[in-house]
Structure 1
Amino acid sequence: MAYRYANRNQLQLFPSSIEDYIPLDDPVRAYDAFVEALDLEKLGLNLDPHQAGNPQYHPKVMLKLVVYGYAYGIRSSRKLERANHHNLSFIWLTSGLTPDHKTIAEFRRKNRSQLADILKQCAKMCIQLNLIEGNTLFVDGSKFKANASIKKSWDKKKAHKVLKAIDQRIADILNQCETVDEAEKGCGSLVKMDQELQDQDVLKTKVQGILKELETKKQTSLNTTDPDCTRINSLAGTHAGYSVQSVVDEKHGLILSADVVSENNDLNQFSRQINQANALLEHKCQVACADSGYASTTELAKIDQQGIKVVVPSQRQASEKIPSPFAKDQFSYDKIHDCYICPEGHTLTFSSLNKNKKNGHKHYLISAKKICLACPHYGVCTSSQHGRKVIRLVNEELREKFEAQYKEPESQAIYRKRKAKVELPFGHIKRNLGVNAFLLRGLPGVKAEASLFGTCFNLVRMITLLGVTTLVSLLKEIGGKYPTSLGGIG
């Protein structure tokens, strides 16, 4: 079979302008049109084409570079710089301008709060284009590693352990110094010991500062590299990280809002995330759905009180385990007398109230422990020497309401859509784009990156739904509604 050969020295006839290099249906044109449609003044970017001093790159150029790079998993400032020299799409996007990696990194660092609001404008555009309805919203969270090592995370136990070791080492150094003084042997070792003693004192001061900060902020742990991150437990192990929260619309699976929190679970996030999404919609959704990780009765109640239907299974419903014959649900509750009746007909009366900031619990005990000890089911129902105890939430009726609501056929149909809608964006970000950790540190930085992730996913979906040429024309119409005075690109 013959081979194909090429000659690098052969003359080629290329288009005379950069514009001719990119076809009209190339996806890069959609990203260009999106940034052109953004209201930069509302975004908070400083626009002054007549400012004095050395000319700088226009914010739109930098935004296009960052957004397009993130859309294809290119986040490093050095990789963005390289792509801007060698990738034709990037060259077209920036009109041939070549900001270096320091300029790119500085732009991203200085405009973290502005980048964090890009997703809001993107969602507003989707609402204008009737791609987001806001009737049914799905909430989900995913854990991402922080740009910090778990070894730099400190808690009180670790701090006290290190302080104890430092004190012991200081005592050892002082004892060695006394021994050397008595023997009057050379000074070389004394100089080394003095330096080590000083190093130990510096370390002790640092650890004491960490302990003080833990007590002041009332935190369980503190990472010295990124103080805003927390200890995250995931399938990938334990690491320093953040939880990214996403609210997705049912119609086309577009992200309405994204947030980042320093928490290891989702229990406290349901009402906050739904309220943020509703604020962007400027109206209340009809249904709010999430998995059992959000099953905090207090949180669900905050949304239920607004007249929004809540579709969230309890932990018990999610486990789908067959309840034992002596599970709490097998005990009947007497609301009038505020007591429980066990399957054998014995009464468990109210004992105490355990007050909790989130959920209060009421404890019910068997009237006499000898009843349980003499029961043929002792050891199966309970093995406690004090007899059976049942714990009931203060708002137990609300929990039962949400469980019954989840079982409704209509709710089941909604819940079946959850995975396909709300977990798809995280799959795209983590698998397709290869994102498993943030590059920036601190909550402002990671929120900016999360906003970029959400924006890029929405743009990919919009291209799929509308096509490049249609989307570009629609974005141009939207962009015309924003009054700007940008001047030329400098």
Structure 2
Amino acid sequence: MNFKHYNQNQLVLFPYSFEDLIPENHPVRIVNDILEKVNIDPLLKAYSKEGNPSYHPVMMLKVMVFAYMNNIYSSRKIEKALRENINFMWLSNMSIVDHNTVNRFRTHKLEAAFKNIFSQVVLLLAEEGLVSLKQVFVDGTKIEAQAGRYTFVWANAIKTNKEKMLRQLEELWKYAQSVAKEEDKDPEPPEFKEISKEKIRQTAENINAKLKGSGGKTDSDKKAKAKLNYIKKNFEKNLDKYEAQEAILAERNSYSKTDEDATFMRMKDDHMMNGQLKPAYNAQISTENQIIVNYTIHQQTNDINTLERHLENFEKLFGKKRMEELEELTADAGYGSEQNYELLEQNNITPFVKYNTFDKEQNARYQAKHKIFSKENLHYNGEDDFYVCPMGQKMEKTHESTRKTKTGYPQKLSHYQAKNCDGCPIRGVCHSSKENRSIERNHHLEDYKEKIRKLLNSEKGIKKRKQRSVEVEPVFAHLKHCNNFKRLVSGLLF
């Protein structure tokens, strides 16, 4: 039988070159060419002139980028690729870097300079005409943290435990008072509203004095003294622990003991399929032509409060001039709020951003159901500032109020009430209140909604709404399902 020649011991006159073995259009050449154009001065600041010579940062950067492109995140697998994969061997010029060096580079060297390098790459793409940085599509996804899934610390649990400590102190104080002798001059009883070390110490001393006076003969006295000893031994220590936990929590409602930056969030891709909360980060990205041009990592569980910092990061990455050139921003209803609309208006950015009931309003059944009786459809007289109920009764303004959102943003509300709903034939379907019908309206937000409604229903708005689902969603699909990037390392690139 005829076979092609095969002899592993056959010598060759000239050794093979990687240049011959790697195709001209291979992605590794693109990575190499782009990163050769990057200014690495920010990366060099992380290196010291003393000690043994380090591996060249450009080479390490190329290896890291190409490894992540190929779903290789483990430092040991990167080391293996440098020994066995001709693409990595070509990038590194046959340098064999051990896994510890890989970890030190991405943890200590690359962290501070990564965003600068990222912005340079995006600007190179802009020079090539692949992105304009004038219109972006924004969305977020939750990525599970590399942390224990059941290492909860909850703000409500800390609050409950502190209240329980106060309650125990108060109960023991009352018992000590009841057994104290009448001739004793009682010290002023402490106020059991807020717990502190000083209060624990002072109350424990007073209780101890009272219990000593009682002689401690009964079983109740012995139990009280045992409880007092427990308070002396544990309460101050527990309070220190709770205060440290509250400092880590800041404004969050939870964190993980094994990754204090992670917040417990409800994940869509649930490995147990039961909707459990897991330690995670909220990753926000802006894309154009399915290219990520901006990203931020957040600890908030929802998207509505992330937009301001996301836009601030855009300005840090590309400068004030590029920020002023940003013309349009498209996002889903998760970002639709008065604060965000005002933010975009202040930056002269056209907001193709839905509000929370926009999709429902497009539904004919919803419109028919809410056409007459919903407050959104009541007639409003802007000149005299009053509403008209479905029966034609005037609803005059009673007062104004201000409330603040979780971020501290003030919202001005106007309150209106009908004068007499008694005997109204449609009262049962109009409202369920026992009093006359009243409504509250945020006129500033309603003005924004009216503008957004017209904008999103315009020809361009409809196009943007369709484009959003095929612009930013596939990027997340590529990251999480194609590249299997489903868990995030602690504190990564905040």
Tell me, yes or no, if the aligned pair for 1:348 and 1:367 is still in contact at 8 Å. yes
Structure 2 residue aligned with 1:181: none
d(CA) in 2 for partners of 1:344 and 1:26? 72
d(CA) in 1 for partners of 2:264 and 2:389? 41
Q: Secondary structure at the match of 1:226?
A: coil
Structure 2 residue aligned with 1:364: 415
Alignment of 1:257-276 (within 5 A): 257-274=294-311, 276=313
CA 1:29 to 1:390, structure 2 compared with 1: closer, same or farther past 3 Å? same
Which AA in structure 2 matches 1:22? I
TM-score, length-scaled by structure 2 = 0.74
Structure 2 residue aligned with 1:344: 391
Structure 2 residue aligned with 1:403: 453
d(CA) in 2 for partners of 1:354 and 1:283? 32
Alignment of 1:149-164 (within 5 A): 149-160=148-159
Q: Does 1:331 align with 2:378?
A: yes
Task: Report the CA distance between 1:219 and its aligned residue.
Answer: 3.6
Structure 1 residue aligned with 2:214: none
Tell me, yes or no, if the aligned pair for 1:348 and 1:366 is still in contact at 8 Å. yes
Tell me, yes or no, if the aligned pair for 2:42 and 2:113 is still in contact at 8 Å. no
Tell me, yes or no, if the aligned pair for 1:45 and 1:59 is still in contact at 8 Å. no
Structure 2 residue aligned with 1:291: 332
CA 1:365 to 1:103, structure 2 compared with 1: closer, same or farther past 3 Å? same
Task: Report the CA distance between 1:157 and its aligned residue.
Answer: 2.3
Task: Report the CA distance between 1:142 and its aligned residue.
Answer: 1.4
Q: Does 1:147 align with 2:146?
A: yes
Alignment of 1:374-389 (within 5 A): 374-389=423-438
Structure 2 residue aligned with 1:228: 261
d(CA) in 2 for partners of 1:125 and 1:58? 22
d(CA) in 1 for partners of 2:434 and 2:231? 56
d(CA) in 2 for partners of 1:6 and 1:341? 93
Task: Report the CA distance between 1:337 and its aligned residue.
Answer: 2.4
Structure 1 residue aligned with 2:24: 24
Task: Report the CA distance between 1:402 and its aligned residue.
Answer: 1.9
The structure whose Rg is larger is 2
Task: Report the CA distance between 1:156 and its aligned residue.
Answer: 2.9
Tell me, yes or no, if the aligned pair for 1:230 and 1:242 is still in contact at 8 Å. yes
Task: Report the CA distance between 1:350 and its aligned residue.
Answer: 2.4
CA 1:104 to 1:390, structure 2 compared with 1: closer, same or farther past 3 Å? same
Task: Report the CA distance between 1:211 and its aligned residue.
Answer: 4.5
d(CA) in 1 for partners of 2:235 and 2:96? 49
CA 1:314 to 1:338, structure 2 compared with 1: closer, same or farther past 3 Å? same
Tell me, yes or no, if the aligned pair for 1:353 and 1:363 is still in contact at 8 Å. yes
Structure 2 residue aligned with 1:246: 285
Task: Report the CA distance between 1:394 and its aligned residue.
Answer: 4.2
Tell me, yes or no, if the aligned pair for 2:78 and 2:99 is still in contact at 8 Å. yes
Equivalent pairs, count: 409
Structure 2 residue aligned with 1:33: 33
Q: Secondary structure at the match of 1:57?
A: coil
Greater shift, 257-266 or 381-390, is seen at 381-390
Task: Report the CA distance between 1:410 and its aligned residue.
Answer: 1.7
Tell me, yes or no, if the aligned pair for 1:214 and 1:221 is still in contact at 8 Å. no
Tell me, yes or no, if the aligned pair for 1:290 and 1:418 is still in contact at 8 Å. yes
Task: Report the CA distance between 1:160 and its aligned residue.
Answer: 4.8
Which AA in structure 2 matches 1:349? E
Which AA in structure 1 matches 2:296? D
CA 1:72 to 1:353, structure 2 compared with 1: closer, same or farther past 3 Å? same
Q: Which segments of 5 or more consecutive residues in structure 1 lack a partner in the other structure? A: 172-195, 448-490
Q: Does 1:75 align with 2:73?
A: yes
CA 1:275 to 1:115, structure 2 compared with 1: closer, same or farther past 3 Å? closer
d(CA) in 1 for partners of 2:2 and 2:20? 31
d(CA) in 1 for partners of 2:235 and 2:52? 47
Tell me, yes or no, if the aligned pair for 2:324 and 2:347 is still in contact at 8 Å. no
Tell me, yes or no, if the aligned pair for 2:156 and 2:253 is still in contact at 8 Å. no
Tell me, yes or no, if the aligned pair for 2:252 and 2:300 is still in contact at 8 Å. no
Q: Secondary structure at the match of 1:364?
A: strand
CA 1:6 to 1:266, structure 2 compared with 1: closer, same or farther past 3 Å? farther
Aligned residue among 99, 102, 105 for 2:100 = 102
d(CA) in 1 for partners of 2:465 and 2:11? 58
CA 1:293 to 1:282, structure 2 compared with 1: closer, same or farther past 3 Å? closer
Tell me, yes or no, if the aligned pair for 1:231 and 1:240 is still in contact at 8 Å. yes
Tell me, yes or no, if the aligned pair for 1:362 and 1:394 is still in contact at 8 Å. yes
Task: Report the CA distance between 1:63 and its aligned residue.
Answer: 0.8
CA 1:78 to 1:22, structure 2 compared with 1: closer, same or farther past 3 Å? same
Greater shift, 404-413 or 226-235, is seen at 226-235
CA 1:270 to 1:282, structure 2 compared with 1: closer, same or farther past 3 Å? closer
Tell me, yes or no, if the aligned pair for 1:278 and 1:285 is still in contact at 8 Å. no
CA 1:16 to 1:227, structure 2 compared with 1: closer, same or farther past 3 Å? same
Task: Report the CA distance between 1:284 and its aligned residue.
Answer: 1.6
Which AA in structure 2 matches 1:354? T
Tell me, yes or no, if the aligned pair for 1:243 and 1:263 is still in contact at 8 Å. yes
Aligned residue among 243, 266, 281 for 1:209 = 243
Structure 2 residue aligned with 1:353: 401
d(CA) in 2 for partners of 1:39 and 1:441? 27
Deviations 1:331-354 (A, max 9, x none): 111222222111211222323413
Structure 2 residue aligned with 1:468: none
Greater shift, 312-321 or 116-125, is seen at 312-321
d(CA) in 2 for partners of 1:306 and 1:212? 35
Deviations 1:316-372 (A, max 9, x none): 11234423131122211122222211121122232341322325142434333x51x
Q: Secondary structure at the match of 1:315?
A: coil
Which AA in structure 2 matches 1:240? P
Q: Which segments of 5 or more consecutive residues in structure 2 lack a partner in the other structure? A: 173-229, 270-274
Task: Report the CA distance between 1:119 and its aligned residue.
Answer: 1.7
Tell me, yes or no, if the aligned pair for 1:248 and 1:254 is still in contact at 8 Å. yes
Structure 2 residue aligned with 1:57: 55
Structure 2 residue aligned with 1:464: none
Task: Report the CA distance between 1:401 and its aligned residue.
Answer: 1.6
State, as a whole percentage, how many aligned pairs show the same letter.
24
Greater shift, 23-32 or 301-310, is seen at 301-310
